[in-house]
Every structure is written in structure tokens, then in C-alpha cells.
Structure 1
Amino acid sequence: MARGSRSSDSPRRSVWRFGVPVVCLCAGLLLATTHTVSGGDEIRRSDAPRLVDLVREAQQSVDRLTAQRDELVGEVDNHHGGSPGAGAALKVLTDRTDALAADAGVAPLRGPGLVITLTDAQRDAEGRFPGDASPDDLVVHQQDVQAVLNALWSAGAEGVQMQDQRIIGLSAPRCVGNTLLLNGRTYSPPYVITAVGDVTRMQAALDAAPLVRLYRQYVVRFGLGYTEEAREQTDLVGYEAPVRLRFAKPAGPLGY
């Protein structure tokens, strides 16, 4: 029995003999790694930054930049309003802007005018189009609209409007299928063009324009629509979209 007991204890002693050094070795490696990562400092320091501290620092930075912005705004205001002639110069600029607004087409306009309406060909009583007409002969094209606009401008029109939009120097009606695109919006016929100016001169210019005369021939031949209506008083809207200039030059001295 004594020999049997000593024999059973031998494996246990062997496990402890090799297990303890392995555990100590792992513990040493863990301590060494911790020391390397922390750089010799305490990992869970009591003064480590907290989220509330970071938020407080960010708020202080915002407050500092806001105060700096307000200071710069005050400097700009003082710069524009502090010089003796600043008020007079600003009034000159404002008056000049108001005067140019009418010429630029950004202000509404009222006066005697002419209303021209163009529309596609309509079917006859039997629901047919002329037999020798092609599809292009039966619709209003961009060149037709442009011919009317050019004739009105050449007659000295003070302002021109197409549909519900004012036409300015940056406007360009373009053909998109059987519709027209103007300032990012599409329109279908009938196309209504309204102009303010000398009605007699504008009518004469339309009569003399070659492309307008050609369109009127198509009106007779293929049934396209064309009407002119003189009005003693008509209203034009102002151009509302932002005006973006790519090229510009001084128009003259500002007067100060």
C-alpha cells in the first residue's frame, strides 16, 4: 500500500513542477507588456480626460471664435460707416442700382405693349393635317420664337416677357422635343410673348423680319397659330432668378 501511494503522488508533483514556472513566465510577460504600453505611467490615472471635459473645451473654443467673429463684423461695419463720405457713396450706389434694375429686367415694368401668341397647327374639321406636311411643319420651333424676340428687341422694346418669365440678356429659349426650355423650366404651346414699347415700331419690325414672314407663310399653308394683340397697358414681371455674370466691365464713373 505504501508503494502504491507514493506512485500516485508522483504525477501530481510533476504537474506542479512544470506548471508553476509556466504561470510565472506568463505573468512576467504580461507585466512587461503593460509597462511597455503605459510607458512607465499609471494606466488608469485619475486625471485622464473625460468626455465632459472634451465637451467643455469645445464649447470654450466655439465661444472664443464667436467673439472673434463679432469683433470682425464690428470692424467691417465701422469701416463702411465711419468715413465721412460713406453715406453719400452708398446712396449713389443704391440710386444707380435702382436705375439699372429697369434696364436689366429685374424690376417689373408697365406700359403700352404687344402680345404675340404662337401655337402648333390644329387639325381641320375632319381631324386631319395637310397631306404634304411633315411633323416639323406642324410645330413651333425655337427659331420661330427667337425670330419674334429678335424683332421686338430690334424695334426698341423696353421689356419682353415669355409665358410667365421676364426675358433678359442671359435668357435663351431652347427647343426640347416639342417643348421649349427657358431658365430651367419647360413650356408647351401656345407660347405667349409680351413686349412693352412702341407698338407701331414693334409691329413694323415683325412685318419686316424674314423668319417671322416665313413663319406666317407656314401659318397659312399648314395651319400654325399666330396672333398679334396691341394693348394700351400691359404688365411685365421682373426677372426673379439669381443673376450670375461671367464677364463684366465698368459702365462708367460712380459719381463720387
Structure 2
Amino acid sequence: MSSGESSRTVWHIGVLAVCLVAGLMVATAQRSAEENQLQVTESTRLSDLVRSAQANAEKVSADRDELAAQLDSLQQDAARSDAGVAAALGDIKNISADAGLTEMTGPGVVVTMTDAPRNADGKYPVDATPDDLVVHQQDVQSVLNALWAGGAEAVGMQDQRIISTSAPRCIGNTLLLHGRTYSPP
């Protein structure tokens, strides 16, 4: 074989090897992209994530309630034999209403906030922007502030007591309060 034919054969083998490697790389990249695409679409559906987070929050809340009951039982047992514990529990009882830890009963006011209604023809007002038509977080906060300023002794929203550390948050038409999601609020 002459050196010309030898270098041509090496060249053909080299081109074939490069094509095989490139083909393997393209096939691997496509397969990886398909697998990642399946994982992304399956794991990132927002409604599934919200349901999962809500279920987790409910489980944690149930666990917290169970632990709180156990703690209360242990505290009561300790108070029977220790005057210091009994005194501390008495102090807690005295401030529990102000801290939002006890149920309140009595006359109340119910405030209902809803998004803007449609006209008789089923359409929204022509001059209104979409932002004008929905209840926003600042609207909820303004009503809560007005209730407190008006002398409310206790405020509840959805099924929860609003206390000083409560932070109701609106995201779209979803209300987040104390780790729970309410849609629509």
C-alpha cells in the first residue's frame, strides 16, 4: 500500500470514528433531554405542588396539635407538684386571651370580600382594568386594620384566629395564612 492510500484509509477511518462519536453524543443528549422533560412536566405542575404542600401542612398541624396536648398534660402534672410551674401556668392563663391563645365568643361582625361582579350582560365595566376587579392583599390588610382600629377584641379569617404574628398573603386568587392555602379566599 502506498503512503497516499494509507493516509486516505486513516482519513476514512477517522471520519467514521468522528461520525460514530457524534451520533452517540446526539442520541445521548436527546435521551437525556426526553428524560428531563418528563421529570419537569411531572414534578412541576403547580396544582400538584400546592396540594402536596397543603397535605404536608395539614399533617404537620395535626402533629403539632397532638404534641400540644401532650405538653399540656405534662404541664398540668408538673403543676400539681411544683408551685413555680403552677404560678407560671397561671401567668400564661392571664395573658392567653391577649396573645390569641383562647377562643373568644360574643357578638361579632362578618365581613365578606369578593371580586367585582360582572354587568348584566356578563361583561366587566369597560373602563376597569383587570387589577381593579379582584381583592388584593392590601385590601385584606386594610379591612383587618380597620377591624382592629374599630375595637375588635378578636379577628378570625377563614378558620383561623388572626394574631400579632399572622401574615395573610394573597397570591393571585389564593390566600396563604399560617401555612394553609385557601382558594378562593
Residue in 1 that maps onto 2:138: 143
- Equivalent position to 1:185, from 177, 180, 184: 180
- Answering whether residue 83 of structure 2 is matched by residue 93 of structure 1, we say no
Whose RCO is larger (CA < 8 A, sep 6+)?
1
Q: Which amino acid aligns with 2:113?
A: L
- Answering whether residue 99 of structure 2 is matched by residue 104 of structure 1, we say yes
TM-superposed deviation, 1:162: 0.5
TM-superposed deviation, 1:99: 1.7
Q: Which runs of 5+ in 2 are unaligned?
A: 1-77
Seq. identity, %: 61
Supply the distance in 2 between the matched residues of 1:188 and 1:121 (Cα, whole angstroms).
Answer: 16
- Equivalent position to 1:153, from 144, 148, 162: 148
Q: Which amino acid aligns with 1:135?
A: P
TM-superposed deviation, 1:88: 2.6
Residues 195-234 of structure 1: matches in 2 within 5 Å? none
Supply the distance in 2 between the matched residues of 1:155 and 1:92 (Cα, whole angstroms).
Answer: 34
Residue in 2 that maps onto 1:222: none
TM-superposed deviation, 1:155: 2.3
Supply the distance in 1 between the matched residues of 2:179 and 2:89 (Cα, whole angstroms).
Answer: 30
Residues 30-49 of structure 1: matches in 2 within 5 Å? none
Q: Which amino acid aligns with 1:92?
A: A
**TM-score of the pair, normalised by structure 1:** 0.39
> By percentage of residues, which structure has more strand?
1
**TM-score of the pair, normalised by structure 2:** 0.53
Q: Provide the alpha-carbon RMSD of the alignment.
A: 1.9
Q: Which amino acid aligns with 2:114?
A: T
Q: How many residues align?
A: 107
Supply the distance in 2 between the matched residues of 1:137 and 1:130 (Cα, whole angstroms).
Answer: 10
**Larger Rg computed on CA atoms:** 1
TM-superposed deviation, 1:134: 0.6
Helix, strand or coil at the partner of 1:102: coil
Q: Which amino acid aligns with 1:120?
A: D
TM-superposed deviation, 1:176: 0.7
Helix, strand or coil at the partner of 1:117: coil
Q: Which runs of 5+ in 1 are unaligned?
A: 1-79, 192-256
TM-superposed deviation, 1:87: 2.9
**Which aligned runs of 4 or more in structure 1 are off by greater than 6 angstroms?**
none
Residue in 2 that maps onto 1:170: 165
Supply the distance in 2 between the matched residues of 1:153 and 1:123 (Cα, whole angstroms).
Answer: 32
Residue in 2 that maps onto 1:54: none
> By percentage of residues, which structure has more helix?
2
